[in-house]
């Protein structure tokens, strides 16, 4: 029952896997904002995409993602964000995996022990 963490990523990188779609939406929204600077841009298309992205981030509380991650890390007493997951104790690894799981907002959680 050892949790599977990505050894190539630090604690934060492993946690952010749970919110990858939100991070992708944030990045795309920044790209849309930058695209408005192009005078030849299709502004109607950009506005529609911006509205969709803003709505998604609003419903997922994506505008406050960093705060959400910090609260979750504090609540579960995670090691520092930049800690190497290969150097964590078994309990720390399980807490990182649990935090990632909780942030993914599953429909159902079945926990043992």
Question: How far apart are alpha carbons 85 and 102 in whole angstroms?
Answer: 18
- pLDDT tens digits along 73-97: 999 999 999 999 999 999 999 999 9
What's residue 2's pLDDT?
83
Q: Are 7 and 87 in contact (CB under 8 A)?
A: no
H or E segment at 14?
helix 11-16
Instruction: Return the structure tokens found at 79.
Output: 């090691």
pTM summary value: 0.85
Question: How far apart are alpha carbons 92 and 81 in whole angstroms?
Answer: 12
What's residue 15's pLDDT?
98
- Residues of the chain scoring pLDDT < 70: 1
What's residue 109's pLDDT?
86
What's residue 90's pLDDT?
94
Sign of CA dihedral 50, 54, 76, 71: positive
What's residue 112's pLDDT?
78
**For residue 10, what are the β-bridge partners?**
84
Question: How far apart are alpha carbons 21 and 60 in whole angstroms?
Answer: 10
């Amino acid at each position: 029952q050892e949790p599977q963490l990505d050894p190539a990523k630090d604690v934060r990188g492993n946690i952010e896997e749970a919110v990858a779609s939100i991070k992708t939406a944030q990045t795309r929204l920044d790209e849309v904002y930058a695209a408005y600077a192009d005078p030849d841009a299709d502004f109607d298309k950009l506005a529609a995409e911006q509205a969709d992205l803003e709505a998604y981030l609003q419903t997922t509380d994506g505008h406050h993602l960093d705060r959400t991650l910090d609260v979750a890390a504090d609540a579960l007493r995670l090691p520092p964000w930049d800690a190497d997951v290969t150097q964590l104790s078994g309990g720390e690894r399980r807490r990182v995996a649990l935090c990632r799981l909780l942030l993914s907002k599953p429909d159902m959680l079945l926990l043992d022990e």
